[in-house]
Amino acid sequence: MKTFIRPSVLIVIFVLCMLPFAFPNAYIVDVAIRICLAGIVAIGLNLLMGFAGQVSIGHAAFVALGAYASGVATIRYGWSPLFALAVGAVGVAVLAYLVAKPILRLRDHTLTMATLGLGIIVHMVLVNEVAWTGGPDGMAVGPMKIGDWVLKGEMSWYALVACLLVLAIVISLNLFSSPAGRALRALHGSEVAAAVMGVNVPSFKVRVFVLSAVFASIAGSLTAHYNSFITPSLAGFMPSVELATMVVVGGMASTFGVVLGACLVVGLPQVFGGFEGFEMVFFGLALMLTVIFMPKGIVPSFAQRFAKRKS
C-alpha cells in the first residue's frame, strides 16, 4: 500500500487524472488507451527483461493468447468477459510455466531465439485453427461487460486502463525493492554469483516469466474487447519487437522508463502519421538517436545525469 503514496506514483496518478481535460477529441483518448494497454504489457516484459535480464522477443504471443482466449470464450462459448479474462490469464500462466521450464535453461541469444519460435508457433496456430479463431482474417469480439452493464465509450475505457496501469506500476515498483526483486536483479548481474548467494535461479526465472506472461494476457484480453476485432497479427514478430523496443528505449529495469517507452512507441507513429509513409523514418530516427546517445534508455540516462550534477 505504501507504494501508492510515493511521490512518483502520486504524480503519475495526477497526470493520468488531469489528461482527460487536455484531450481535444476522442481519437486522442484512443491513443492514450492504446498507450496504457501497451504500457501494462511493457511493464510485465520489463520484469523479465529489465529485472531478470532474460530477453524475450515473443511476448506478443501472450498478448494474442489472452486476446483469443477472451474472443473465443465469449463469442463461441458465451462466457462472461471477466470470467474469460481470468481463465485466459490462468491458462496463459500454465502455458508460460510449461514453456518456461525448458526454454529458460537456455541463455542469451538462444533464449531469445526460443521466445521468437514461441511467437511464431502461436501465430501459426491462430492462423490455422480457422474453426475457432476465424483464421488469418481474425474474428469480431463483443464489448466488455459485467452482467448487463456494458463498458462503453472512450472515457470509461480510459478510466479502466489508467487504473490498471497505475496498479501495474505499483506492483512493479514493489517487486523492484522486494527480496524477490533483488534476487532477480542479482541473477541479471551474474547467475553464478546469484546462485552462490542462495538464490534459486531456475525457480525465480520461471516465476518472473509466468508473471510477465499474465500481465500480457490480461492486457491482451482487454485489447480484444476494446478493439472489438482481433487477428493473428497480434502475435506477429513486429508487435513483439515493438514491446522489446519499449523496454530498451525507455530504460531497462526502470518502471517509469518503460511507460515512457510505451508512450514513444505507440504515440510517435500517431504524431508523425500525417507524413504519409515517412512516419517510419522519423520513428526510426528517434529510436536510433535514443540508443546512440542514451544506451541505458531515456529515464535511467537522465536520472544518472541528474544525480551526477547534484554531487
Query: From the CB of 215, what's the least distance to other proteins, in Å?
Result: 19
Q: Which is nearer to other proteins, 54 or 231 (CB)?
A: 231
d(C-alpha 100, C-alpha 102), whole Å: 6
203, 59 Cβ separation under 8 angstroms = no
The dihedral sign for the CA sequence 62, 214, 53, 40: positive
Nearer to other proteins by Cβ, of 33 and 100: the residue is: 33
Q: How far is the CB of 92 from other proteins (least distance, A)?
A: 20
Q: With respect to other proteins, which residue has the nearer C-beta, 202 or 267?
A: 267
Task: Tell me the closest approach of the beta carbon of residue 91 to other proteins, in angstroms.
Answer: 22
- Minimum Å gap between C-beta 103 and other proteins is 27
- What does DSSP say about strands 139-140 and 149-150: parallel, antiparallel, or unpaired? unpaired
Closest-CA residue to 49 (of 258, 283, 237, 299): 258
- In terms of CB distance, is 6 or 101 closer to other proteins? 6
d(CA 60, CA 216): 8
Cβ nearer to other proteins, comparing 30 with 191: 30
Helix axes 26-46, 154-177, angle to 10 degrees: 20
CA dihedral 170, 176, 177, 181 (to 10 degrees): 130
For residues 142 and 188, give the distance between their C-alpha atoms in angstroms, rounded to a whole number.
Answer: 41
Q: How many DSSP H helices and E strands does the chain contain? A: 14, 4
- Cα dihedral value 172, 174, 177, 182, nearest 10: -60
Burial class (CB in 10 A: 0-12, 13-18, 19+), 265: buried
Task: Using CB under 8 A, list all residues that contact other proteins.
Answer: 6-9, 11-12, 15, 19, 22-28, 30-32, 34-35, 127-128, 130, 135-138, 140, 154, 227-231, 233-234, 254, 256-257, 259-260, 263-264, 267-268, 270-271, 273, 277, 298-299, 302-303, 306-307, 310
48, containing H or E segment: none
In the complex, the smallest distance separating the C-beta of residue 242 from other proteins, rounded to whole angstroms, is 12
Q: How far is the CB of 297 from other proteins (least distance, A)?
A: 11
Q: Which is nearer to other proteins, 131 or 292 (CB)?
A: 131
CB of 257 to other proteins, least distance (A): 8
> Three-class SS of residue 257?
helix
Q: Is 229 helix (H, G, I), strand (E, B) or coil?
A: strand
Residue closer to other proteins (CB basis): 104 or 173: 173
CB of 5 to other proteins, least distance (A): 12
